[in-house]
Structure 1
C-alpha cells in the first residue's frame, strides 16, 4: 500500500483517480482549493478510512509524508482559467515548484498532468511528442498554454538537476462523468444544452476537430505510466487518436439525447485551435495502452451522468 497525494483530486479527472487508487487499497490524500473541483465528486470516498481530503491551494507549500504525487491542480476549462489568468499561471508555475520541492525532499515519484494545449494551434497533424508547438505567448489562452509549458520545463529541470523521478503526460481532450455542467467545454456544453432543449452552440463552422478520450481510459493510462521504469519519464501523449469534427459531436449528442435542440453557429473564440489529434504510438510502445471506449459509448455514459446531475440525483 502506497501513500499517495493527489493535487486537484476533487476535479474531473482527479476524482476518478482518487477513486481508483482508494479502491486499490492505497492511502490517498486529496488536496483541492475547490475553484473548479467539487466535494460531490469525492463524496462517496469519505467513508473510506484510507481517504483524506484537505482544502489547500498548491500555490502555497504543503508539508506531508507521501510515496507518490499526482499533480492535476489547474482549471482546464477556458471559461475558468481565463476568469483568473494570473492565478492560473501561478497554479501552473508556483504549484509545480511547491510539489516538485516536496517530491525532491521525500524522493517521491511525481506525475504532471500536462496538456495537448502545449502544441497550440498546430501546423502538423497528428501531434507527436517531438513537435514543439505553435503557441501565442500573449493571448487570452496563454495563461494555461504557456503555464503548462513552463510546468513541463520545471519538471524536466528538477529531473536533470536534482534527480527527481518525474512522469509528464500531455492529456488530450477527455470527457465523462464528474465534468461540470457549466465548464464551457464541448461535450458538457452540448449535452447540457441538448437536455435542456436549448440551442446547441457550435463555434465557427464546426469543422475544427478534437480527439475525445473517455475518462476511464485516461485513468488507466495515467496509472500505467506512473508504473513504468525510470528509463522513460515523458513527455507522453495520452488521448484518443480518432479525430472528430465539432459539428459531428453536436449531431451525435442531439441524436443520443433525442433532443429537439437546434444547432446554432457562434463566433469562433480567439486562438481556438483548429485541430487536435494525438500520435499515441509512444504510449502504445511504452505503456502498452490505447483507448477502448469509442465516442458513442462514452457519450451515452456521460449523458446518463448529466441527466442525473441536472435532476439533482447524482451522488
Structure 2
C-alpha cells in the first residue's frame, strides 16, 4: 500500500466523523497508548482533522520512549507533545485536560501466558492512575479502549454477542488475566463516573486488520498474511474452527473517534465487524487472495484463551451513532498485505 493509499484511508476516517471534530476546537487532550497500533491510527486521524478544521487542540501523548516514537513517526512527534512516562507512574496532578483517550494496555498473548499478574496490574492499576489523573486535571470525558474479551466464552449458538450479554471469563483461569483486567477497568470507570462525575465511555474492541499491524505477533490474521507474502503455505496450527471477525483499521478509527466525540456519558459500544469467518477459512482466503501458495490445517490442540466464537453484534452503535463498515474482509486483507509490500 502506498503512502497515498494510507492517507486516503485516514481522510476517509476523518470524513466519516464529520463536523463532530469541531468539538475538539481549542480543547486539551491526553492520549495514553498513542504509540501502539490503534493509538497510532487515532493520532494520524487527529492530525488530519487538525489540518482540515484548524482545531487548535493541544495534545499530549504519554510514551515510554518518546525518542523511539519520534524516529518512527516524526510528523506526529512534531505535531503533538510527547511526554515520557507510563500509566503505572502517571501522577494524579498535572496540566488541566478536557479529554483523556486511554488506549494503553499490553495486549501481548505472551505476557498474558507467562506473567498474568503483571498483565492484570498493568491494565487495572494503570487505568486507576489514569482515572485519578483525569479527575485531578478536571477532565470532562475519559474514553477507555476496552476489549470484547470481557464477554468471556461466547456461546456457539450466539452468533453475535451484544453489549447486554452478562456472561464473563472464568475467574479461576489465569489465561483470563487480560479479559478480567479489562472488566475490572470498566468497573473502575463506572465508579469514577458515579463518585466524581467523570464522563466515562467505553469501546469493546474485537479483532482488527490494517496497515501498521505487526505480522509477527499472536494475531492469526497477521501471521497468515506474513506467510502468504513469503510464499509459504498458510498454516493453521489448531483445528481452525474458532470464529473471528475483523474490522479494518480505517473503519475502527472512525468508529472510535465518533464514540469519543458523540457518545452519551456512560455509553459502552462493541467495535468490530459482524462478518464472521472460521480461522481455517481465513487461512484459505488469505492464501487465495495473496498468491495462493496453499494452506493447511494441522488440527493440534488450541492453547489460546478462546477457541470458540469472538464476533460482536454492532446494531447498537450503528443505530445510536450512525457508523458503518466500509471495508470488507477481503479488501482488509489486501490493504494490510499491500502495506507490507504486496502487489496484485
Pairwise mapping of residues 201-280 of structure 1 onto structure 2 (< 5 A)? 201-228=235-262, 230=264, 232-265=265-298, 266-280=300-314
Contact kept? 1:210, 1:243, Cα under 8 Å: yes
Runs of 4+ with deviation above 4 angstroms: 37-41
1:2 aligns with 2:23: no
Structure with larger Rg = 2
**CA-CA distance at 1:67 after TM superposition:** 1.6
The number of equivalent residue pairs is 303
**What secondary structure sits across from 1:44 in the alignment?**
helix
- In the other structure, the counterpart of 1:60 is 89
Tell me, yes or no, if the aligned pair for 1:181 and 1:306 is still in contact at 8 Å: no
Whether the 8 Å CA contact 2:239–2:297 is kept in 1: the answer is no
Whether contact under 8 Å (1:110, 1:166) holds in the other structure is: yes
| CA–CA separation in structure 1 for the residues paired with 2:61 and 2:175 | 27
Question: Which structure 2 residues correspond to residues 1-315 of structure 1 after superposition, within 5 A?
Answer: 1-25=26-50, 26-33=57-64, 42-48=73-79, 51-62=80-91, 63-108=94-139, 109-123=141-155, 124-228=158-262, 230=264, 232-265=265-298, 266-307=300-341
More helix by proportion, 1 or 2?
2
Structure 2 unpaired stretches of 5+: 1-25, 51-56
- The change in CA–CA distance for 1:199 and 1:119 in structure 2 (over 3 A counts) is same
3-state SS of 2:202 partner: strand
SS for the counterpart of 1:187 is helix
8 Å contact from structure 2 (residues 289, 334) kept in 1: yes
Shift of 1:94: 0.9
Q: CA offset at residue 4 of structure 1?
A: 1.4
Q: Which runs of 5+ in 1 are unaligned?
A: 309-315
Which deviates more, 282-291 or 270-279? 270-279
